[in-house]
Structure 1
């Protein structure tokens, strides 16, 4: 019995120190099979729009810790929008991205080199990939959306390594989650 205690303590430390990874793996496991339907694929395409939007807003506000509350409120918004079935979450996220980009252009932040301009380029690239994936034939759309998720994982890990724009815990969570979702999109049929 005493030999199990150090192992349990070690595991507890690992989970405590890597809680974003544990959370990402848990969330990804709960979503397994969701990409098999057209609605599931559309939902993952819409969430792909959300990921760079959160980075864009965090950069605009210059508040790294804003990513977590933004994520929670965005998931709540997705739930409400899907329940009401009046407007697609992709339309809402695209409109919000446009508003933030115009705001950044008006206050001059978009014209200056820095995190906001980089996030604006990311928003445009990932947003285009997500929207094309949503509009394409489901067979092709699945791979385009998967590519977007995988490329966003790289984006997350670069931000984690550089320790910029969003909280490190958020970048870690997002990178692991992105890889898991990309793998699900590619390997589930």
Structure 2
């Protein structure tokens, strides 16, 4: 006896249709799963170091896309940011988080001097978010790794909430990115708290 295959009804859409709509969530889960498999049995200090060095990239993407004024730029900005995150450790002179925080501060100055496409209020919210998330990264890296994991995890989790608020408001970044990033951020926080 064969089991019935799922099919679409008025109340329940076809699984393929759900996957097409929720591809950012599926991609995020796959990325985090691959990272978890690739990192193996990572110790706390390594996990805090890696995720702490990367954390400032999250608000930096929002700041840059906000200043560009086009959500279409989100995915290319993410691509450039990922190249930077993987290339920065190769130079060995300055911590990647320091470079990312400095870039975020430069974009904040750029917005304060030049003005912003979405207005001062939205820029102010982005600035506060950048300061909080960029502050949690060095704080988490500067303290004992056992405490640092909570600070860095808080930064990733809170940025996930930030993403979902932006998804709901449909402002600043592309909706697909906000969904993808929100899922990645929350799963990374869970990984830091429970799986490392």
TM more than 0.5: yes
1:73-122 Cα offsets, whole Å, 9 max, x none, are 11111111223333321111011111111111212449x63222211110
Distance 2:63 2:162 in 1: 13
Q: Who is 2:177 aligned against?
A: 170
Distance 2:177 2:187 in 1: 15
Distance 1:71 1:88 in 2: 19
Consecutive unaligned residues of structure 2, counting only runs of 5 or more, are: none
Q: Note if contact 2:61-2:78 (Cα within 8 Å) is conserved in structure 1.
A: yes
Distance 1:93 1:148 in 2: 15
Q: Note if contact 2:28-2:184 (Cα within 8 Å) is conserved in structure 1.
A: yes
TM-score by length of structure 2 reads: 0.87
Deviation at 1:188, TM superposition (A): 2.1
Distance 2:110 2:165 in 1: 26
Q: Answer yes or no: is 1:154 the counterpart of 2:158.
A: no
Q: Who is 1:24 aligned against?
A: 28
The aligned length equals 187
Q: Who is 2:194 aligned against?
A: 187
Q: Who is 1:105 aligned against?
A: 112
Distance 2:76 2:156 in 1: 21
Distance 1:89 1:63 in 2: 26
Q: Who is 2:51 aligned against?
A: 44
Distance 2:178 2:46 in 1: 27
Q: Answer yes or no: is 1:131 the counterpart of 2:110.
A: no
Question: Which residue, out of 25, 44, 68, partners 2:75?
Answer: 68
Consecutive unaligned residues of structure 1, counting only runs of 5 or more, are: none
Q: Which has the higher helix share?
A: 1
Q: Secondary structure at the match of 1:44?
A: helix
Distance 1:70 1:87 in 2: 22
